Amino acid sequence: MIVFEDLEESNYAGIADEILRKFPGEYIYTLIGDLGAGKTSFAKYFCNALGVSKEDVSSPTFPIINTYFSQSLNQELYHMDFYRIEDESEAEEIDIYDYFESTNYCLIEWPSNIKNLLPKKRVEIEILVQKNQKRCFRIRQHDGKT
């Protein structure tokens, strides 16, 4: 597990770059945290590190999936938010497996709502609010073998 503590939003770009460097070849990233922890804020920096303008990144709470195009990667990125999903079958109805199997980057907020559908191979990014209102990031790789 990799841990970064006492982070402010100004640190997010560097953290996104570091995560992508540490996990080359990984395409599925889950964002875990309470409401207001900064998942969507971090998603803006993560997508920006992959070649998408931060201004183009917004919360996919209502559409469930936002698609962005990275000029530098010449491919789409998928930003998902399963906060409103009440049953995993709702995610299956939108062909969620097609997104996971695409080898395009998938950034998933509220993965606990689809925990049985998640690929076993993924990188989990947990964002915790510290007492000083700064953030702690805990990053863990799931290799798909356990």
pLDDT digit string, tens, across residues 83-118: 999 999 999 999 999 999 999 999 999 999 999 999
Question: In sequence order, what DSSP letters do the residues of 80-125 get, joined into one string?
Answer: EE-TT--SHHHHHHTTHHHHHTT-S-EEEESGGGGTTTS-SEEEEE
Best CATH choice for the domain 2-143 from the list 3.40.50.2300, 3.30.2350.10, 3.40.640.10, 3.40.50.300? 3.40.50.300
pTM of the model: 0.93
Residue recorded with tokens 């080898």: 103
